[in-house]
A and B are shown apart, each in its own frame.
Chain A
């Protein structure tokens, strides 16, 4: 085996000699460098880092041991190798060039390879959405299941999604709770009362007219919610509108009298009451007066003076009561009366299982699920409770929890084949909706018509128009732009007194709406860099210093100055790329390289002292500080690229507010990009970046392809990425075209077997060798 490879190397090299005496060859360009610079450590005796160069060269021609060479190249390019103290030979560049040339040559002759996707467990958002679309039950997996691990920046990567015993236990519990809620066949317990009162410190005062309480609703059902309102206002005070919100959503509102009641009270007090349907789960409830101009003229000391003002001091929940309205989930599931007999049970179970497993189900599968109905009945329960049990079983089945695709030759990587229409339907729906295929899509796939002329395009068009495609903004953009970290970052309230949940939510909404707009309106990719519009409500507009935006609702706003525009002028992006106390040009620079330009800097080599960013603003200006840092050649190679981009955003502080001074130093946001373009403000930098639109496009293709497939990209995907980027360019990169290109691409449409290796074969190695 080994000697065969050696001969091959020899043959390749000898062939080179014959063609042209002075053409670069492995022997002439690479071998000498390896011998002189690498071998002293990477030899058969020391094998530093597990690499013996001589043995490695013997494993085959460069293109065949590509992965290893790429690793070596990466280490050389990043400056990690040769290590400190070993001089970098001048011939190294020629060696890199030669190797890269060989790879390019090999790529041209590459056989198309779709790669393969590992069976994917539903992640938390997919689980929630799937439950919503399957059973019409609102279940929040993110509150119940442990966080999904990330791979390649996304949480839908099959390789890293695992099932731990704790998660399995949660799946069991969730299935029980969801099935119970969906059918509601179990009798509700007796109503109980839960009060949240100011005197017990169980409410939070959001502002003078608003209170908030976290409360768990244990059962779906109707609840009577009472509001305690001490105090009274002046005799001529007008009624105000009282609102009641759950998790930020207004549920109901009603007018409330605030003037004295005329009754003689020592302590004026009144109560209001609403009766409404509340879903099971942990919720944040809020009660408050909507647009209450009265308190604007009130002095602070009178806020809670019950002779001067009327305000909230308690929320009381009484329930659950059975609702007279039939639940949506029951209407969806109970298409006939299961008590009527086995035929109906089979019908209900097979309809549900087909949706839940996202494929036609066999008679045997239906029978094994219907057995649960019999089991429940044998235990003295009703047929509906039996259906509940069958649903419970369905929801922990691997057919539901995993998306599994089959190969006829699972261990033969050479056998490339198209995935079935049914598998394709799930790929489409989980890509565009993060949820299961609906009846139309699944029906088309079952009939074998999904790949008919124009059929898939028509489906994609329909799916993009559907509100469920908002999942792309939540899950793709939320992770691509790291927006989910907005919930994790904790800007310093001393330095950034304006920061708070309201502003944070507004930032998130801006970017979500902006992304959603670009994608729904099929806007060109360049809008992400320099759109002259954005989406604001009053809170965020005020923060941006943009006048005339009133109210809590978001709307499209045209930007008249260059202060804002595109993603890099949005506070969400600027906040997640900052420290809690200050900006970081390094983090912001890295953010742009990684998420926009698709050129993430290599990790810093070991032993490099970290940058002294802490002194910034205090003892030296940021720029001085950074320049000191870059006087170190090793640092400079990457930081010269990173920092300049970060400097271009220095006009925004750690939560994205516009500024012209940083501490006592004026902000200097000028710089020169590696492509030679200079800028002196954020808007000029954005303009300069649009010259790199092709890089951005390629980056976007890579990210979107990764997300759509649920796997990391490898060398074999290079051709696909090249092709999509090429096809996308002529039309000016309209956003939706990318999605059509991706669903039509080879890796999205096909798969192949996987070679069994010692690493992936057999059972997981669970206990170390003893």
Chain B
């Protein structure tokens, strides 16, 4: 009754103090480390930028407390106390390891899966990505177990990188080892996904629609089971995949009914993909902010553009493609352009950080309750290096991460160690993930 709308709901609860359990903690929720009653949940997000970073302008020349930030990180200067900069994290599975060329395809495919993906254009095989492991464990508590977003349309034809399927560069999140989750690119599609198609239905019409959808889902589930006999193993797997997606839609439907809330995002439905990159970035992150705030999801992957992309940044006066530029062979003018592109991306990210920080939640801000990794699968894009990957975390992950610092780990420290720690923060205890040698210590130490 009082929980009709998500946004006012939270305001209301604040007034009530901590005595009222938040509605998202239903009986199904396991003992949940970061969301004890009254405490806002922790959100985990990954923002991925391609083709490496100009590391000269990323790494500060010092460790410990953050002071003046290097050029690419400059847009984050006002929020330096809210970020943690991590040095020397490495993805060994991004390296060739006898699979030859294709660093772009490989590093993106392995980024969140921690797996050396199979070099093939048809037999796609990666692994379950860590965001999906988390989504599977805790996603039941939100309407959407996870969100996958991006800004760049997938390539339409041709081979993506030296024999690696485009699936590896078009996606960050993998639901199973051969089912990637394609990102939503169109702000309007994201809007409809999160908030419905914008047509306000009468309560009866909404009930009827939900009832119809449920009976349709029952119908197709039955159809699928009838089809399964007499199929070979691969065909069966395809239908399993389909059924899995049906079940997920069913669950979302149930969840939406239980909340009985249509969230009012207080924004106009976007028309489509804006021509302006910054505008596109902003629209998407505005909506994520609302989705986080209304606890529609706690897990996000955001593939800014594709590994190996040749997008030209005309808005910066750069007409060469991003990827060709990163093979600069240390020519100063080309490196300068790469640094400009890197900084431009960071500027967009910083605007989102600002927004999260301006959004109050509980005693703190939405940013405090988030841990957002901003990073790339390559450090030096010119030489395709997979060590000292540019990695930063924005937000405190629910008063856990001690931000405002730069921590440099031992060389070749597996990136997967960070993932183990983050999964732990999200309430998922894993012994092993990828090539992790243990948790990444020290995120919470000053």
Say if A and B assemble together: yes
Interface flags, B161-185, vs A, CB<8A=1, else 0: 0110111001000011111111111
Which of A401, A603, A764, A766 makes the CB contact (< 8 A) with B162?
Answer: A603
Task: Count how many chain B residues have C-beta atoms less than 8 Å from C-beta atoms of the other chain.
Answer: 95
Asked if B202 CB lies within 8 Å of chain A CBs, one says no
Chain B residues whose C-beta falls within 8 Å of the C-beta of A4 in the assembled complex: none
Chain A residues whose C-beta falls within 8 Å of the C-beta of B334 in the assembled complex: 614
Separation of A305 and B157 alpha carbons in the complex (Å): 47
Interface flags, B216-246, vs A, CB<8A=1, else 0: 1001101110010011111101111110111
| CB-CB under 8 A for A172 and B216, given A147-B156, A410-B232, A482-B157 | yes
Asked if A343 CB lies within 8 Å of chain B CBs, one says no
Chain B residues whose C-beta falls within 8 Å of the C-beta of A757 in the assembled complex: 233
Asked if A160 CB lies within 8 Å of chain B CBs, one says yes
| CB-CB under 8 A for A118 and B319, given A150-B157, A485-B156, A485-B157 | no
Which residues 414-445 of B sit at the A interface, judged by CB distance below 8 A?
Answer: 430-433
Q: Are B324 and A614 in contact (CB under 8 A)?
A: yes
Asked if A392 CB lies within 8 Å of chain B CBs, one says yes
Separation of A49 and B100 alpha carbons in the complex (Å): 11
Q: Are B232 and A168 in contact (CB under 8 A)?
A: no
Asked if B128 CB lies within 8 Å of chain A CBs, one says yes
| A614 nearest CB neighbor, chain B only | B334
Asked if A528 CB lies within 8 Å of chain B CBs, one says no
| A489 nearest CB neighbor, chain B only | B310
Which of A153, A485, A764 makes the CB contact (< 8 A) with B178?
Answer: A764
| B208 nearest CB neighbor, chain A only | A379
| A607 nearest CB neighbor, chain B only | B96
Which of A393, A404, A711, A756 makes the CB contact (< 8 A) with B233?
Answer: A756
Asked if A521 CB lies within 8 Å of chain B CBs, one says no
Interface flags, B367-378, vs A, CB<8A=1, else 0: 000000000000
Q: Are A153 and B158 in contact (CB under 8 A)?
A: yes
Chain A residues whose C-beta falls within 8 Å of the C-beta of B96 in the assembled complex: 606
Q: Are B182 and A146 in contact (CB under 8 A)?
A: yes
Asked if A490 CB lies within 8 Å of chain B CBs, one says yes
Separation of A558 and B128 alpha carbons in the complex (Å): 56
| CB-CB under 8 A for A118 and B234, given A393-B220, A485-B155, A495-B319 | yes
* CB of B185, distance to nearest CB on chain A (Å): 8
Chain A residues whose C-beta falls within 8 Å of the C-beta of B321 in the assembled complex: 579-581
Chain B residues whose C-beta falls within 8 Å of the C-beta of A754 in the assembled complex: 232-234
Q: Are A404 and B249 in contact (CB under 8 A)?
A: no
* CB of B426, distance to nearest CB on chain A (Å): 14
| B136 nearest CB neighbor, chain A only | A767
Asked if A389 CB lies within 8 Å of chain B CBs, one says yes
Q: Are B182 and A164 in contact (CB under 8 A)?
A: yes
Of B42-50, B62-70, B118-126, the one contacting chain A is B118-126
Interface flags, B265-289, vs A, CB<8A=1, else 0: 0000001100000000000000000
* CB of B314, distance to nearest CB on chain A (Å): 8
Which residues 597-640 of A sit at the B interface, judged by CB distance below 8 A?
Answer: 600, 603-606, 609-610, 612-614
Separation of A609 and B324 alpha carbons in the complex (Å): 13
Separation of A761 and B236 alpha carbons in the complex (Å): 9
* CB of A594, distance to nearest CB on chain B (Å): 8
| A410 nearest CB neighbor, chain B only | B232
Q: Are B233 and A766 in contact (CB under 8 A)?
A: no
Asked if B354 CB lies within 8 Å of chain A CBs, one says no
Which residues 102-129 of A sit at the B interface, judged by CB distance below 8 A?
Answer: 116, 118-119, 121
Separation of A763 and B185 alpha carbons in the complex (Å): 30
Q: Are B239 and A119 in contact (CB under 8 A)?
A: yes
Chain B residues whose C-beta falls within 8 Å of the C-beta of A490 in the assembled complex: 311-312, 314
| CB-CB under 8 A for A603 and B220, given A149-B180, A410-B231 | no
Q: Are A168 and B246 in contact (CB under 8 A)?
A: yes
Q: Are B219 and A368 in contact (CB under 8 A)?
A: yes
Asked if B329 CB lies within 8 Å of chain A CBs, one says yes
Which of B101, B241, B246, B252 makes the CB contact (< 8 A) with A162?
Answer: B241
Chain B residues whose C-beta falls within 8 Å of the C-beta of A606 in the assembled complex: 96, 100-101, 103
| B197 nearest CB neighbor, chain A only | A173
Q: Are A399 and B223 in contact (CB under 8 A)?
A: yes
Chain A residues whose C-beta falls within 8 Å of the C-beta of B246 in the assembled complex: 168
Chain A residues whose C-beta falls within 8 Å of the C-beta of B100 in the assembled complex: 75, 80, 603, 605-606
Q: Are A760 and B237 in contact (CB under 8 A)?
A: yes
Chain A residues whose C-beta falls within 8 Å of the C-beta of B245 in the assembled complex: 163-165, 167-168
Which residues 51-109 of B sit at the A interface, judged by CB distance below 8 A?
Answer: 96-103
Chain B residues whose C-beta falls within 8 Å of the C-beta of A393 in the assembled complex: 215-216, 219-220
| CB-CB under 8 A for A397 and B223, given A153-B157, A163-B245, A282-B272 | yes
* CB of B35, distance to nearest CB on chain A (Å): 21
Asked if B127 CB lies within 8 Å of chain A CBs, one says yes
Q: Are A488 and B230 in contact (CB under 8 A)?
A: no
Chain A residues whose C-beta falls within 8 Å of the C-beta of B241 in the assembled complex: 162-163, 764
Separation of A719 and B4 alpha carbons in the complex (Å): 66
Separation of A712 and B124 alpha carbons in the complex (Å): 12
Chain B residues whose C-beta falls within 8 Å of the C-beta of A398 in the assembled complex: 220, 223-224, 227, 239, 242
Asked if B248 CB lies within 8 Å of chain A CBs, one says yes
Q: Determine which residue in B102, B148, B163, B232 has the highest number of CB atoms from chain A within 10 A of its CB, and name it.
A: B232
Interface flags, A709-731, vs B, CB<8A=1, else 0: 00110000000000000000000
Asked if A28 CB lies within 8 Å of chain B CBs, one says no
Q: Are B193 and A397 in contact (CB under 8 A)?
A: no
Interface flags, A393-423, vs B, CB<8A=1, else 0: 1001111011010111011000000000000
Asked if B213 CB lies within 8 Å of chain A CBs, one says yes
Chain A residues whose C-beta falls within 8 Å of the C-beta of B181 in the assembled complex: 164-166
Q: Are B327 and A610 in contact (CB under 8 A)?
A: yes
Separation of A399 and B430 alpha carbons in the complex (Å): 39
* CB of B106, distance to nearest CB on chain A (Å): 11
Asked if B12 CB lies within 8 Å of chain A CBs, one says no
Asked if A152 CB lies within 8 Å of chain B CBs, one says yes
Q: Are A764 and B177 in contact (CB under 8 A)?
A: yes
Chain A residues whose C-beta falls within 8 Å of the C-beta of B32 in the assembled complex: none
Q: Are A119 and B238 in contact (CB under 8 A)?
A: yes
Which of B122, B182, B185 makes the CB contact (< 8 A) with A152?
Answer: B122
Asked if A159 CB lies within 8 Å of chain B CBs, one says yes
Separation of A175 and B219 alpha carbons in the complex (Å): 14
Chain A residues whose C-beta falls within 8 Å of the C-beta of B163 in the assembled complex: 603
Q: Are B233 and A605 in contact (CB under 8 A)?
A: no
Chain A residues whose C-beta falls within 8 Å of the C-beta of B197 in the assembled complex: 173
Q: Are B167 and A160 in contact (CB under 8 A)?
A: yes
Q: Are B212 and A151 in contact (CB under 8 A)?
A: no
Which of A80, A389, A485 makes the CB contact (< 8 A) with B158?
Answer: A485
* CB of B431, distance to nearest CB on chain A (Å): 6
Q: Are A580 and B310 in contact (CB under 8 A)?
A: yes
* CB of B201, distance to nearest CB on chain A (Å): 12
| CB-CB under 8 A for A404 and B235, given A157-B122, A168-B248 | yes
Instruction: Provide a sorted-by-A list of 26 A–B residue pairs whose CB atoms are within 8 angstroms.
Output: A49-B97, A118-B234, A146-B184, A147-B154, A149-B165, A149-B167, A149-B170, A153-B121, A160-B124, A160-B167, A162-B178, A162-B179, A164-B179, A396-B220, A397-B220, A398-B227, A399-B223, A410-B230, A410-B231, A485-B156, A580-B310, A580-B320, A580-B321, A606-B96, A610-B327, A754-B233
Q: Lowest 9 CB-CB distances: which A-B pairs, in order?
A: A49-B98, A603-B162, A484-B156, A492-B319, A754-B232, A168-B245, A165-B248, A147-B154, A764-B176
Given A404-B227, A492-B320, 5 extra CB contacts under 8 A: A167-B245, A483-B157, A580-B310, A581-B319, A610-B327
Residues of A within 8 A of B (CB): 48-50, 75, 80, 116, 118-119, 121, 144, 146-147, 149-153, 157-160, 162-170, 172-173, 175, 214, 216, 282, 368, 372, 375-376, 379, 389, 392-393, 396-399, 401-402, 404, 406-408, 410-411, 478-479, 482-485, 487-488, 490, 492-495, 579-581, 594, 600, 603-606, 609-610, 612-614, 711-712, 753-754, 756-757, 760-770
Residues of B within 8 A of A (CB): 96-103, 121-124, 127-128, 133, 136, 148, 153-160, 162-163, 165-167, 170, 175-185, 189, 192-193, 197, 208, 211-213, 215-216, 219-220, 222-224, 227, 230-235, 237-242, 244-246, 248-249, 252, 271-272, 310-312, 314, 319-321, 324, 327-329, 331, 334, 430-433
